[in-house]
Amino acid sequence: MSENTLKPKTKKYAWVILAIVYAASVSSGMMMNKVSPSIPIMLDTFGINLSQAGLLMSVFAFTAVLLAIPVGVLISRLGQRTTAVIAFAALILGSVIGAVSESFALLLFSRMLEGVGAALLSVLAPAMIAMWFPPETSGTPVGIWSTAIPVGGFLSLTFIPGYIESYGWQHVWWGTAAITLLILICFVIFFKPLPGVEAKQESFADQTANLRNLFKNKSIWLAGLAIMCFTLVIMPVVTYYPTFLTENKGIDLSTAGFLVGLISLATLPFSPLAGWFSDRIGSRKIVVIVGFLIMLPIFASLFSVSGWVITLYMILLGVGVASIPTPLYAAVPDLVGDVKMVGFGMAVLTIGLNLGTVVGAPVFGALVDLVGWHTAAYIFAPFAILGILISIINKKLR
């Protein structure tokens, strides 16, 4: 038997689907991360503290936690196209409401709406990739897709600070709404479902059985806990480090945003590489553990370094960021064992990913107010160790 016979085949249109999904996730990443470089302005505009500012990130993620599993049901009921259109509509409407907000409460509500859209896309996007690409070779496309949110974050952290200084934060919200609308139009034009998948809508009894199997699957929930530990470590950096650099290192907002944006920039080559490497060695677990080992010492000492070391740390954090979500998402088909369960498996990872943001951003901000930056980092750093231990005991994570 030839090597070509052994290799699973990938449909050509799968790469078009990946491009559509990638663009959608970039817009979601911009929506999520536009708050971080805006925090110094928000503190004065709305008269809030760091903990309240963290809520603008956490409420976005909290909505995704609540909706993650219902999204799996929604996809099987409404289909991928309709679910995606609802997701885009929620992102656009939320951003528009945010742009006209004159109170912190309304701005918080707008972030909740954006979170609805992000929740839908965060489950739908990797599920679509898992359906179109064979599990044995899914690491590379998942790795490529994994750069989308960081790219959105990099664009936000790099360009938004200067834009805010020139035009005001409201124009950022209008701009992200316009970009998302453009991507929605492209999605409607180019998207088509995997033949046969969209038509096979499951009965209520089948969906109930799937949910029962999901809650019994220890391996997928352990993967969700591992990715939550990852988020608990990285989100305080993405959310607050620009503010730390401006307030404590005398770095202007644009430069601070660019430095933190290097984390996202570093994931561009390393996320696909992490996915490819995990395919190549046949192990997702090893790559995940290496990612945590990179992040642990850097986060623990992040608020003590200065000068060029900050740049080095941001790049190394990007390598760590690339090494954890990519293999975990690629492992979902193996962890759930059934293509019908892939959407629900992605939902569990979405819960873990966003639960870390829900807890991490406001709690870390509150800790900074109470005990300072350095001690807060020492308290949060052990979550990287916990992520390593959880990955080791997850027997199905090969």
Summarize pLDDT for 168-217 with one digit per residue, the tens.
888 899 999 999 999 999 999 998 877 665 545 566 677 777 788 888 99
| Residue 143 to residue 273: CA distance in whole angstroms | 7
Cα 54 from Cα 306, distance rounded (Å): 24
Residue type, 235: M
Per-residue model confidence (pLDDT) at position 3: 39
pLDDT digits (tens, 9 = 90+) for 211-242: 888 889 999 999 999 999 999 999 899 889 98
pLDDT at 1: 38
Residue length, the chain? 398
Number of CB atoms found within 10 A of residue 15's CB: 14
The predicted pLDDT at position 131 comes to 79
| Residue 362 near residue 55, CB atoms below 8 Å | yes
Please give the average per-residue pLDDT across 106-131, as a whole number: 88
Residue 298's region, left for phi above 0, alpha for psi from -120 to 50, else beta, is: alpha
Interval 287-316: pLDDT, tens: 999 999 999 999 999 999 999 999 999 999
- Residue 6 confidence (pLDDT): 43
Q: pLDDT tens, 313-348?
A: 999 999 998 999 999 998 998 898 877 788 788 889
pTM value is 0.79
Q: If DSSP codes are grouped into helix, strand and coil, which group holds residue 381?
A: coil
pLDDT of residue 182: 95
Give the mean model confidence (pLDDT) for residues 25-38: 87
Mean pLDDT of 267-284: 90
Burial class (CB in 10 A: 0-12, 13-18, 19+), 44: exposed
Q: Does 12-193+206-393 carry CATH code 1.20.1250.20? A: yes
pLDDT by residue (tens digit) across 38-87? Answer: 888 888 888 888 778 878 877 877 787 888 888 777 776 777 888 899 99
